[in-house]
Amino acid sequence: MSMKYRFFFLLLTAIWLFAGVSNAQAQQENVNNLAADDRVVMPPISEPIPDTQEIRKRFATESHVNRPNIREVFELRQRRFTVQRFEGLAGLPPFILDNSGSITLFRYERGGEVLVLQPVHTTRGDIVYKNDRGMVVLKLRRVGGATVFMRPKSRGIVAWSTGQGSNIGPPTVSLRQMTRVLRRIANDLAQKLGQDIEISVRGANEENAWIFLDTANNVRIGVYRYLRNNRKNQTLRDLSRIEIFAANELVSSMDDGVLKLEIIPGEGYFGRMSSFQIQYSLFGNQSVIDGLPAAIDQNDLVAEFGLPENMLLLEGTNTVSQTIEP
């Protein structure tokens, strides 16, 4: 290599080294300036890099915050509707679950008995609803959907919410209507049992007549259900009189052919016994549910209010006695 080219190569090398040293000095000056600024504190070089998972937890993205999961969607829906209507599979009739008041009410949409259910919250977030005999009637899942149990130890029938339902409120019943329908209930029971039945009511007035009538109807439903499940024993010879009267606590007893039912009119549906509890009082701890949907019976109490007088006053010796207390 000639001296000319060797000199040119050394010159380029010197220029490159000088540029590198100048750049390093400039970066160091920038670092010193930032460190001298009171508003910025430079971490030491040995400080570890922050965990990205921790940053993600502390600073969630807006899309993650505003995007509810499927469980939250169903929970919001359930909170929005205090009265829900449900439909189900396998011919299950639509039913109403009413949480608008202090107690939970259950009734099939086409009619039947109104059940007072006790909610039990499970560890998985589901809600199990039991009747006054401790039987599971309904299971409401935390992610939506429900299961209806029509007999003990059954696998249940799947149902789903269709949205807002109609409130289950007590019917408006006058004393005259109560007396008319009670007479029909007495005659229905007499025909089923083959013996005369008398119904006695004490403490009814225009405001609470409906609950006395509802209690008598639950007696009828309980007797009918028992007869469906015990076809070999179609009679109940001991029953001759049903007494329903206002009291301060729920009590039922069967003595000398008289079924005594104490109810609490001021507590609404919660102040009377279901047909399952009445059936237990009459027949003991025997089969209480058959294959039919719970609380559905051929007799719909509300539908009977509109029947003409000649259909309610049947021939027979069955009577209804009533004492009105001030």
3-state helix, strand, coil in the chain (%, to 5): 35, 20, 40
Predicted confidence (pLDDT) per residue in 66-101, tens digit: 555 545 544 555 556 789 999 988 778 899 999 998
Distance (Å) of CA 15 to CA 9, 12, 18, 19, 229 = 10, 5, 5, 6, 107
Whether the model pTM is above 0.75 = no
Mean pLDDT value across residues 125-130? 91
Q: How many CB atoms lie within 10 A of CB 5?
A: 9
Sheet containing 241-246: give its strands across: 251-255, 258-263, 241-246, 198-202, 320-323
* pLDDT for the residue 11: 66
Cβ proximity of 90 and 155 under 8 Å: no
pLDDT at 295 over 50: no
284: left (phi over 0), alpha (psi -120 to 50) or beta: left
- DSSP H or E run through 158: strand 157-164
**Greatest extent of the chain over all pairs of C-alpha atoms, in Å:** 142
* pLDDT for the residue 207: 94
Q: Over the Cα atoms of the chain, what is R_g? A: 38
Helix/strand/coil for 224: helix
* pLDDT for the residue 312: 45
Predicted confidence (pLDDT) per residue in 159-199, tens digit: 999 989 989 988 889 999 999 999 999 999 998 888 889 99
Predicted confidence (pLDDT) per residue in 262-273, tens digit: 999 999 999 999
- DSSP H or E run through 17: helix 3-36
**In 3D, which of 305, 271, 263 has the Cα closest to residue 174?**
305
Q: How many CB atoms lie within 10 A of CB 90?
A: 9
End-to-end CA distance of the chain: 132
Beta bridge partners of 262: 245, 251
Q: Would you list the domain boundaries of the chain?
A: 3-65, 70-164, 175-323
Mean pLDDT value across residues 46-60? 51
148: left (phi over 0), alpha (psi -120 to 50) or beta: beta
Beta bridge partners of 24: none
